[in-house]
Each structure stands twice: as C-alpha cells, then as structure tokens.
Amino acid sequence: MVSPVLLLSILLASSLSGFALASNLNQDFDITWGDGRANILNNGQLLTLSLDKTSGSGFQSKNQYLFGKIDMQIKLVPGNSAGTVTAYYLSSQGPTHDETDFEFLGNLSGDPYTLHTNVFSQGKGNREQQFHLWFDPTKDFHTYSILWNPKHIIFSVDGIPIRDFKNAESKGVAFPKNQPMRIYSSLWNADDWATRGGLIKIDWTRAPFTASYRNFNADACLWSSGTSHCASKAKAPAVSSTKNWLNQELDLTSQEKLKWVQKNHMIYDYCADVKRFPQGLPPECSVV
C-alpha cells in the first residue's frame, strides 16, 4: 500500500516536469545522421528526430563525461508508434564499451510504451529491466535522468528513481567507471523485435514519426585530453561542495519511491528471471 503522501509527491513530480531551465542544444549536440530528418529549432531550445520509410535519425553530445547527473526532457512519438524505438543512452566506444540505456519501445495506439533499461560494463550487457510508465509519455515532455557515480547508476523519471544499478566489483562484476561516455539518441525502425517481439510492424502511412527533446542539463565531469576535469580539480572546495552527486545514494524517501515503481510498474527484471539463468542469477543481483 502506497502512502497518500508518497503518491502525491510522485504525481506532483510528473506534473512539474516541464519546468526545467532551458539550454541551448546547438552548444551541446551534433546531428550525426538522418539526412535532414533531425533538426535543432527555436534558437537551440528544441531538437526533433524523425523516422520515415527511408531512414531514421540521431544525434550525439559534443562532450564526453566520466560521471555526472544528466537530464533530458523527451516527448515520445504519439499515436500508433508500433515498431519504432527511441533510444537515449550514454556509451563509450570499442568492443569492451560501457553503456547505460533508456530505450522506448513503441506500441499500438492506446497501449503503453515499454521503457527498456540496460547497463553494459566492459562489453557485457544482458541486464534488462522494463517498465510501463504511470503517465502517457507522448502527451508532454518528461525528464529522464541518469545519475552516474563510482558506486551507483540511478535511472530516474521526473526525479523518481526507477532503477539503481549498484557497483558489484566486490563480486567480480565490472562497473562503468574508467571509460568516458558520450550521450547518444536515435529514432529508428526496429519492427523486427520492438513491439510484441516483432509481431506488430510499423504502419508507414503514419510516417514521419517524430520525437522531441528539450531542457538538457549535465552536471557532470567533462572528459578532455585523457582526463576528467573533476579529477584535475579534486582538491578545489568548489568542486567537492557542488558535485554532491559524486557520492549520492538513494535516501529513505527515494528508496520508497523506487519500491513503488518496481512493484507497480516494472514488467521485466532480469534478476527475477530464473528460467533465463538456470545456473543461478548474475552476481550483481544479490547486492543490497
């Protein structure tokens, strides 16, 4: 049973999600593909990706980061979005890359989006958790956040934590903490798997499909010339006092919100899939 106060705070967080400070997306991102299907508009206040039968589109951040609290407001493809995927993630490069994923799997009109999350460390992923959100993510912008520090990767929606991937190096599990990552996003055709395992295909008569982005914020450690600016200034009081997220964990209130989301809105957890792991669940699943 969720307390009325907790439920009110969750609903209030969602209702206030459109009031973040604006950023200039021209300064933070480069359009990387799509041949005109991606655009930065309104003097850098809005970015849109679109997908048609010929191509999808995508962008990436100009900067690389090693730890940070990174927020983006996204409004997803409305209507019948079956077969489309809007991916928003951080990733390094190479065969042993690190990655943290938000992927929004489209669906038929009236059915909920599936929010798919995953974490890769040293090239190993297969750590999926999936959710149905408690609101319609196509009606308005909502804030999707990743807090990444040496002990936690916390996924949040409108400030409400939905997943806490904890450092399990003590159990022999690699944790993303040495490779800088860029932010990437793309809108693409995944109708071979995205909706009901590929049973529902894209209805191209509804193209182009469009997702929108605004109010990006990165309170993060920039990576430049092979080093993190946080590391180079680690002894400066200003850095230690303002980078509170570097040591942040979920407090008791946030833990209750996480439990609420996972009880009421999680639809898949690899750490509960004993059929998939008959020899025993992955070691990070036992980290408290």
* Neighbouring C-beta atoms of residue 4, cutoff 10 Å: 8
Round to whole Å and give the CA distance between 48 and 145: 19
Q: Which two tokens stand for residue 116?
A: 């798919």
Name the residue among 127, 137, 12, 27 with its Cα closest to residue 73. 137
pLDDT tier, 288 (very low <50, low <70, confident <90, very high otherwise): confident
Half-sphere exposure of 248 toward its Cβ, with a 13 Å CA cutoff? 22
Per the CB < 8 A criterion, the answer to whether 131 and 260 are in contact is no
pLDDT tens-digit map of 260-271? 999 999 999 999
Q: Which two tokens stand for residue 193?
A: 């798997």
The one-letter amino acid code at 244 reads: N
Characterise 178 by phi-psi region: left (phi > 0), alpha (psi -120 to 50), beta (else): alpha
pLDDT tier, 1 (very low <50, low <70, confident <90, very high otherwise): low
Is position 249 annotated as part of the catalytic site?
no
Is position 284 annotated as part of the catalytic site?
no
Q: Choosing from 103, 128, 169, 256, which is the catalytic residue?
A: 103
Is the confidence at residue 17, as pLDDT, over 70?
no
pLDDT tens-digit map of 121-175? 999 999 999 999 999 999 999 999 999 999 999 999 999 999 999 999 999 999 9
pLDDT tens-digit map of 185-229? 999 999 998 888 888 999 999 999 999 999 999 999 999 988 888
pLDDT tens-digit map of 47-94? 999 999 999 999 999 999 999 999 999 999 999 999 999 999 999 999
pLDDT tens-digit map of 26-54? 999 999 999 999 999 999 999 999 999 99
pLDDT tier, 15 (very low <50, low <70, confident <90, very high otherwise): very low
Name the residue among 211, 208, 203 with its Cα closest to residue 58. 211
Q: Choosing from 99, 169, 256, 284, which is the catalytic residue?
A: 99
Please give the full DSSP string across 23-54, using - where no structure is assigned. Answer: --HHHHEEEEESTTSEEEEGGGTEEEEEE-SS
Long-range contacts of 167-173 (CB under 8 A, 24+ apart): 167/287, 168/283, 168/284, 168/287, 171/283, 171/284, 171/286, 171/287, 172/283, 173/121, 173/282, 173/283, 173/284
